[in-house]
Each structure stands twice: as structure tokens, then as C-alpha cells.
Structure 1
Amino acid sequence: MSAELLSGLTLTPILTQPTLFAAVLGFGPTSGGNTVVLVGLNLNGATSVTFGGTPATIVSQDPSGILLTVTAPPHAPGNVPVVVTTPAGASNPVSYTYLGPAVPPPPAVFAITPTSGPTTGGTPFTIVGTDLTGASVTFNGVPATSVNVIGGVLLTGVTPAGTAGNATVQVTTPAGSATVAGGFTYLAPPPPIVVAITPLSGTIAGGTPFVITGANLTGASVTFGGTPATNVVVTANGTVLVGLTPAGAAGNVAVTVTTPSGSATVAGGFTYV
């Protein structure tokens, strides 16, 4: 072919489809924004790079076509294909992993001690388990107080007040909830027991100081012939009750001690004189 003929031809370069070998680093945060270097062949002239279909920002291109630097876009957690497109077409995909935030495991609970306490609450307790960090505790839906977690495996607190019977104990963290097997049993306080009153008699005008001895007297009130005594005080251990008699008619009257758990009558009563 003559030189004159060759000079009139336009030569079209042959384009080679890009090939990807790897993404370095092959992982990053779901927020994106990190630099990723793509390694392959024929990557020069790239017009787009996608991560799971989401366009990345092209930062620089190696003239040799071996390296292509991009900024990863945001994406949901998981593995996604990375594809480079040049005028010659789309490359094969390589894998890139978006790392989501670590999800803490839900709590697990093994036991509670003690397993019972009074309905008035106030019982210190300990729960043994795992992944208890950040936990709260409820007894039949009522929050416990003074909750403290030690090393994620021990939880201490104080029971709230409750009704007599078994209560569901639930431990809750931001990762979920767990129920203590067997729960916690609220015990109704026993009814009052009265042994004696002193003195056995007093003026009909009332105002006689008296002492009643017995057991389980906490929270008690006292009546003399149905009329409430005044200034009633019970010792901390619930065994002694003191007060002042009300006014009454001459004669013997029943003395009744009443608590939230029941009533008891003083043998022999009290005589107004």
C-alpha cells in the first residue's frame, strides 16, 4: 500500500476491557469516606467505580492502568461487588466488606439470690449471668433500686415492694431482655402475735401508758373496746408496742392489735376503773 493511501486512513486504538484483582484494604466502615486502592489491569481512563452499585469518588489514576485510588461511598453492612468501568467496558467484580457496628449479645441470667423476701421490698439481691452491662431489673414490672453491675456478670440491687406470691424477674439491656428462671417469691408478713399487756387496768379518762409484748407487731395499730389508742410506737424488731389508752367506760374491754397481715386479741383484755 502506498504512503499516499496510508496517509488518508484514521487508525482507531484497540481498547482492552479492565480487569480487577483486588481492593486494598478490602473492608471499611458503613459511613464510607475511607481510601481504597484498586489493583488490576487496564484501569486507566476509568469513568466510574461502584461499590454495590453506589458510585465511589475517583481520587487518582495510575497511567499504567494498574492502580486506581477511590474514596468508598457509604453503604449498608455486608459484602458488595466493586466494579470499574472504562470506555472499553465494565470490569469483573471484586469483593469489598462494609463493617457495621458491633452488636452486643443479649443478656443471659442464671440465678438470683435470695429467691424470696417480704412484700415490703427492701431485700438486697444478686443476679448471676453474662452480658449484664447497662442492665435494669424489674420485679413484676416494677423497677428494682440501687442496681449495680459488676464486670457484666454480677448484678446487685434492692427489691421493690410487691404483692404476696411469685414475681417475674426480668433483666433488660440495650441488646435485649432475659427472665430469671423461677422468679422471686414475695412473702406476706406473718400475722401479729400478742403475749401480754401491762398494766392490766387504768383510768376511764384514758391516757394510761401501756406496753404490749409479742411478735410481728410492725405497722400495728391498737384498739381498746374498738376505740384507737394514741401515740402508738413499735420497736424496730416488731416485738414491743407502746402507746396511750383512749378514754373508756368502766369495765373490761377487748384489746385488739392489727397489722396489714391480720389481728390478734390480748388475753384478758384491759379493765377501765
Structure 2
Amino acid sequence: MWAQGFSEPGAGSDLASLRTSATLDGDHYLVNGQKIWTTEAGQSDWGFFLVRTDNTAKPQRGISMIVLDLKSPGVTVRAIPTINGECSTWEVFLEDVHVPKGQMIGAPGSGWDQGKFLLSNERTASSDIEKSWGDLKRIREIASQQRRNGRSVLDDPVFAARLQEAELMVQALEWSVLRVLLEAPSEHPVAARASVLKVRGSELQQRLNELMVQALGARSLRVYRRDEAFGDGFHANSLWPDYVPGVTADLLYQRALTIYGGAREVQKNIIAKLAFGL
């Protein structure tokens, strides 16, 4: 498992202001600083981190990328409990961590370009088409079993229309992702298109989860984590069926979708600049 050490306290969407430092000391770098919102860092073996290796250069040009063993002396990983009752994000503290010189990716100062390349690919993938198709299937399963006013929620024409619209949006987004992956000709750079996919994909995932909560109705008022369906904390019965766990917990967590990986507002600025020259 690998973790991505980019964001810091005070340097989230504005990564150019990151302060974690890597100072060359013989054949090692000494790394000091803190990363935050590091997904699954507690379960990861290694991480790739953006660090500052030059304080005199332009902020972007003083950033490098290194990989380090998260079991190294000086690395402390601490969970951040989130509102949905889970701990998928972590803080990583780095104190005089010795990292071999050969574990720098590329030349010193090239980390900003590497980070931009990585994020362009991540933003294309973060549209998460497979999950969206899975969510649509799950919404139908829940709506077909939930009853309201003597009929299944799936038979409600208003809900059915919302579900149909969401499915068309997923289908349209999938074709847009495929155009980027296949490098179809475009007048706009790939970074701008990737940001469009990030904005559209994250908003659509939130919309699908809201539909799932609507299908669940009053049962959504009780928050069960998804993993409770497979443990001792949840026992399915006629009042709390096995499709309840995870729905509201996911809704709470997915408010972060339009923030992590590049906040929606920042993505719109990227689109405005790269696609339209504004």
C-alpha cells in the first residue's frame, strides 16, 4: 500500500506553499514536517511525498518528490476521526527522517511538474465511473425494496425520473472520460479536461448518494458504517435491512469529494485559465 503525502496544514489546494523540508546530508535527505488528510496512511507501507529542497528558488521550482518507508524512525502516523465514524484520513509527522538520496524521483526541483502530471491522471480517474455504475445498481436495489404510500420507491414517477437523469449523466461522463483516456483531439489541454472530469465526477457521486438517501427515507436518519454490515455491530431485521449500513455514512464522507484532490473552486479556476485564457 502507498500513501500520497501532498497536503499540509496551511497548504492544501495551494501546494506551492508547502513547508515540509528535505535537507541533503551526505548520501541521505533529512525530512522534517507534517502532512495531513493522507488517505489510508495507517495501512500503507510506503509513501510518495512532495517536499521542499530549495528555499531560494521560485516556490514551485523548489519542490521535489521523494518516496519513503512509513516504518522509518521519525515517522508518526495518527488517525483523524471523521463525521461518518470512520478513520480513512491520517496525519503524518516527519522528524529527522533519513531517506536515501536515491529515493528522490527525478532531479531535485522537478516535484511540481511530477505532481501536476500525477494530479491530471488522478482527476481523470477520480470521476470514478465504476463506482457510479455500482451506486446506480445499489439505488435501484434499495428503491425496489423500500415502500412509500403503498408502492416501492422505484415506482414513484418523480424518483424514477431523477434516477433516469442520473444514469444519463453517468453515461455521458463515461464517454467524456474515454475521450480523455484515448487522447481524442481537443482544442483544450488535458489538464483542463481532467479538471472538468474532477468537478463533474465528484458532484455526480454526491448526487447519486443523495438519491440513495432519498430512496432509504426515514431509515437514513440512523448512521451505520458500511463495515458494520459484516461485523457484530449490526443485525439485519425487518426494521433495519442489510442495505442500510453505509448509505448515510457515505453521504457524510462524500461532502469531501469536491474538496480533496483539488477543491472544486480551484478546479474551476484551472479550467478558466487553461481552457479559456481568463
Relative to the length of structure 1, the TM-score reads: 0.19
Q: Which has the higher strand share?
A: 1
Higher RCO (Cα < 8 Å, 6 or more apart): 2
Query: Which structure has the larger Rg over C-alpha atoms?
Result: 1
Q: Which has the higher helix share?
A: 2
